[in-house]
Structure 1
Amino acid sequence: MSKTDAFIEEIQQGYTCKGDFITLGGAMYNEETFANAQIKIPLKTLNRHGLIAGATGTGKTKTLQVLAENLSNKGIPVLLMDLKGDLSGIAQPSPGHVKIDERHEKIGVPFEATGFPVEILTLSEQKGTRLRATVSEFGPVLLSRILNVTETQAGILAIIFKYCDDNKLPLLDLNDLKKALQYATGEGREEIQKEYGSISKTSTGSIIRKIIEIEQQGGDLFFGERSFEIDDLLRQDEQGRGYINIIRLTDIQDKPKLFSTFMLSLLAEIYSTMPEQGDSDRPELVLFLDEAHLIFNQASSALLDQIENIVKLIRSKGVGLYFVTQNPTDVPDGVLGQLGLKIQHALRAFTAKDRKAIKLTAENYPISEFYDTAEVLTSLGIGEALVSVLDEKGRPTPLAQTMLRAPMSRMDVLTNQELKKLVEGSELTEKYNESIDRESAYELLNEKIEKAEAAEAKEAAQAERKKLDKRSSSSRGSSSGNSSSGTQKAIIKVLTSATFIRGALGILNKMMR
């Protein structure tokens, strides 16, 4: 048997699927592509997570697009993070090209141009369905990790959440949280200290500064109502195809704190909401996290631990996570070790550091008698990749240089008119784009403070009146008239003071006439 025949046999045996699968492309050896040695990904292993890596311009985004399209065709909903703004074209069919036809002839997969059901989502004021979550839904533990607070400050946040829960003070947005922190060391200090323990003003000030940092990155738009429901990510169209939900993030690339905050909250919500699936034949939802390094670069150690835990546990919910980045080293080892599917596009060796990174990357893949992995990594063409997946028994498949199939949808963005039509035709836009500002902790605590100020002003006025009445009763003769007049003036002065009027009447007169 020739080495080429041995290679084809190894691929055929390693990538055999009895259940449902996705065809990724055709295996390559000695620059030849084999239509009878196709690379197949079993659907039942797609919740084992994965990595798509490679240098800029090597085709990572198109690979992501191919996977999303084929998952949609299998009825599996997808969530994509679009930081570069080049994924919206999935909603329109590919215009086709002679080179696409040539590619598909080589890999033995028919090409059919088609658009897919797409929902455009946004965290900011861009066009799309708005994504929001309330502060209460985050809870004190997750919020503490996002804000990267000390252990003492995390305890204070726990007290604040407990106090607001006990007193029916909804924490919906960041203004609610800031007001509750201010109240805890101001007007409500004695009340909270008596029931929950003392709170340092210095610590609350530090927490508020970290909240302001989140606000400056656009968090004030994300925290609030109406909260996005995870079920709305799991929809299918009338043809049974899964929706491809695209979150447009082009305006928050320089706001990694907001991006990591959103991602962690979304993963936590998915984990807490979706039921256990066990070892199912297909995933319920697949997420692709483009520019994944933005999640990890500025994350605290506590936040990284939280992400690693979610990656480990969320698989049982039937959810697959796929990290898309330039180099596998962008992903922490604890997360990288959990990834079953690996698609590695070309890496460039311009420096000694690059060459070292390529050697380390090559060690992450199964040893192959047919390839020098480190050498192949630098010679892959656009739309080619080294691939290793898990077979139906969860075992790594043989390493295969692969010519990847082309996207069936447009490899370009939607026009402004197409995007507008897509957003306006969405069932979710009307549901989530209405801004809701119901009574919450901010308003309720302000009302509580005003009542307290009014009560204090009233007590001060009564005390002053008693004092003046006592003086009046001890006065005699003609001075009594003057004393009475003095008493009336003193009472009028107190009753017309700014503090009393603001507290008791809720307004501040400019002038007493």
Structure 2
Amino acid sequence: MGTIFLGLGANGENQSLDLGRSNRHGLIAGATGTGKTVTLQGLAESFSANGVPVFVADVKGDLAGISMPGSSTFKHADKLEGRAKELGMDDYAYSDNPAIFWDLYGEQGHPIRTTVSEMGPLLLARLLDLNDTQEGVLQIVFRYADENGLLLLNFEDLQSMLMYASQNAKELSSKYGNVSKQSVGAIQRQLLSFESQGADKFFGEPALEIDDFIQTDEQGRGYINVLAADKLMRSPKLYATFLLWLLAELFETLPEVGDPEKPKLVFFFDEAHLLFDDVPKALEDKIEQVVRLIRSKGVGVFFVTQNPVDIPEEVAGQLGNRVQHALRAFTPKDQKAIKAAADTFRINPDLDVAEAITELRVGEALVSTLMDDGAPSIVQRTLIKPPRSRLGPITAKERAIIKSISPVDGKYDTEVDRDSAEEVLLAKAADAAETAKEVEEKGEAEVGKRPRKTQSMWEKAGKAATSAVASSAATVLAAKLTGRKSRSDPTTRGVTAAVGSIATSLGGGMMGQFARNLIGGLMR
């Protein structure tokens, strides 16, 4: 089983992380300026070098340097090289790492999008800070959209559905339960508030394909997915909800693998306390469940936070690999955190852990990892290894170059706006207005003979399917006339295309009920 070198312990032994135990999750904790980011960067590099893709959130804008090699001319180079020499790293040399830049706002990397339907009403309710009554109304809106084949792709679709719900509150209330205009208005105001912060950019198509996070380069190194989160951190609830959604998507998408020799993906959750701030107990329980279950998908999650007590005990109990940097005992709360951190480690008779936590230097940490038999190692005071890539931010030109050679360049950069709830409801409203006008002018009996203009989802799907089959038939005829052979059976391909057309047209409707993310599915 492979290992990752973490640093040199005070007992003179190398402290390492078992790759096969990395999906048992971990914690990197410590006060500001004690070396958490350097530890994270070094770990991410090592996972990448071992062919493991990584996801990191760059909350301060300095982790992007992981894509570029370090240099003797950069700040702190003497300290890095001195630490490498102190640890006996004879092979230490600066090097870059394969990286893909992402950004919810599409400014510093490829956009990350999901559809409103895929996010689901529960996570949206948390994102919008809705009360129970408002969340119930949102559930009804989603239910109505599902049953009527209305695609909820972006904020405009959701706004249109809410407007429809307000105008037809009496009809919806009789079928689904109370829908008050006041609750709908409150949801609309929250949506407008989040749109003003740019949160609407997260919703739309093309939606993220999780497989694009799990790639290796031509040298077999895992890509490091760097999310630009400095702007995102101004909306901490959006940041936390997005990462929770991403964890749930990973769980839904990836197959069961048990305990692989190395993880399929390692996920670093920086500023992890935001995930648990003001969260209802029911949702906290589900977060704990996701963390526990996602291990079997081969995904390792490392929570990065200043204070270890920020992580609820039920979640902290799942974190087998721990790197604890210095904490300061300025207040009673700080002292409580130090004692709590010390109590989580396997006792070392030669080390006063609580005292050591307050004495650790920058770049030094208390380390305990899971061994081959699954038991935690005895905690050791450890000098953490230096990273080989650049410490600090990169230039806009360097970022543009990295983005241009990205394996997903061009895939997500242009938004697609297909017919969805907004367009369907607008068409229905226009049709209703025209009908009302004609009734007034010609009388109801005459207008009743006029064919309906707006198509149902089945009509649209059938039309698309017919078109697909017709196209395939033309291909068959052309092949016969020219004598060319097709690589696949055109008739089969036509049927497949027809089915695909129907599935696409219905995908946001009845099928949407089954495509919700894990959190929504567990809590419904």
TM-score range, shorter chain: 0.7 to 0.9
1:166 equivalent in alignment to 2:147: yes
1:352–1:194 Cα change, 3 Å: closer
TM-fit CA distance, 1:111: 1.0
For 1:404 and 1:176, how far apart are their aligned partners in 2? Answer: 50
Structure 1 segments unaligned to the other structure (5+ residues): 1-18, 467-503, 505-513
1:121 equivalent in alignment to 2:112: no
Aligned partner of 2:389 among 409, 426, 429: 409
1:434 equivalent in alignment to 2:414: yes
Contact 1:128/1:429, CA 8 A, preserved across alignment: no
Greater Cα shift, 80-89 or 210-219: 210-219
Letter of the 1:44 counterpart: G
Letter of the 2:65 counterpart: G
Match of 1:108 in 2: 88
Contact 1:77/1:285, CA 8 A, preserved across alignment: yes
For 1:389 and 1:316, how far apart are their aligned partners in 2? Answer: 19
Match of 1:27 in 2: 9
For 1:442 and 1:283, how far apart are their aligned partners in 2? Answer: 41
For 2:160 and 2:283, how far apart are their aligned partners in 1? Answer: 25
Match of 1:361 in 2: 341
TM-fit CA distance, 1:353: 3.4
Match of 1:328 in 2: 308
For 1:413 and 1:260, how far apart are their aligned partners in 2? Answer: 23
1:444 equivalent in alignment to 2:424: yes
TM-fit CA distance, 1:57: 0.9
Letter of the 2:119 counterpart: F
**Counterpart of 2:101 in 1: which secondary structure?**
strand
Q: Deviation digits for residues 450-475 of structure 1, max 9, x if unmatched? A: 21122222223345999xxxxxxxxx
Q: Deviation digits for residues 435-488 of structure 1, max 9, x if unmatched? A: 21221111111111121122222223345999xxxxxxxxxxxxxxxxxxxxxx
For 2:281 and 2:433, how far apart are their aligned partners in 1? Answer: 44
Match of 1:237 in 2: 217
1:103-502 alignment to 2 at 5 Å?
103-109=83-89, 110-186=91-167, 188-189=168-169, 192-193=172-173, 196-462=176-442
Match of 1:55 in 2: 31
For 1:226 and 1:465, how far apart are their aligned partners in 2? Answer: 45
Larger radius of gyration: 1
RMSD: 2.4
1:460–1:397 Cα change, 3 Å: same
Match of 1:64 in 2: 40
For 2:278 and 2:94, how far apart are their aligned partners in 1? Answer: 40
For 2:294 and 2:387, how far apart are their aligned partners in 1? Answer: 28
**Counterpart of 1:245 in 2: which secondary structure?**
strand
For 1:307 and 1:169, how far apart are their aligned partners in 2? Answer: 30
Q: Deviation digits for residues 160-188 of structure 1, max 9, x if unmatched? A: 223222322110011211211220231x4
Q: Deviation digits for residues 179-231 of structure 1, max 9, x if unmatched? A: 11220231x44654565455222222232233334323321111111111100
Aligned partner of 2:57 among 74, 81, 100: 81
**Counterpart of 1:428 in 2: which secondary structure?**
coil
Letter of the 2:139 counterpart: A
Match of 2:21 in 1: 45
For 1:183 and 1:251, how far apart are their aligned partners in 2? Answer: 33
For 1:464 and 1:287, how far apart are their aligned partners in 2? Answer: 62
TM-fit CA distance, 1:359: 2.1
TM-fit CA distance, 1:151: 4.0
Letter of the 1:240 counterpart: G
Q: How many residues align?
A: 444
1:103–1:464 Cα change, 3 Å: closer
Structure 2 segments unaligned to the other structure (5+ residues): 447-452, 454-524
For 1:432 and 1:299, how far apart are their aligned partners in 2? Answer: 32
Letter of the 1:434 counterpart: T
For 1:465 and 1:392, how far apart are their aligned partners in 2? Answer: 81
Contact 1:217/1:258, CA 8 A, preserved across alignment: no
TM-fit CA distance, 1:232: 0.3
For 1:277 and 1:200, how far apart are their aligned partners in 2? Answer: 47
**Counterpart of 2:410 in 1: which secondary structure?**
helix
Contact 2:23/2:266, CA 8 A, preserved across alignment: yes
For normalisation by structure 2, the TM-score amounts to: 0.80
**Counterpart of 2:102 in 1: which secondary structure?**
strand
**Counterpart of 1:427 in 2: which secondary structure?**
coil
For 2:237 and 2:194, how far apart are their aligned partners in 1? Answer: 7
For 2:137 and 2:268, how far apart are their aligned partners in 1? Answer: 35
Q: Deviation digits for residues 369-416 of structure 1, max 9, x if unmatched? A: 011111111111111100111112211110011111110111121122
For 1:238 and 1:311, how far apart are their aligned partners in 2? Answer: 31
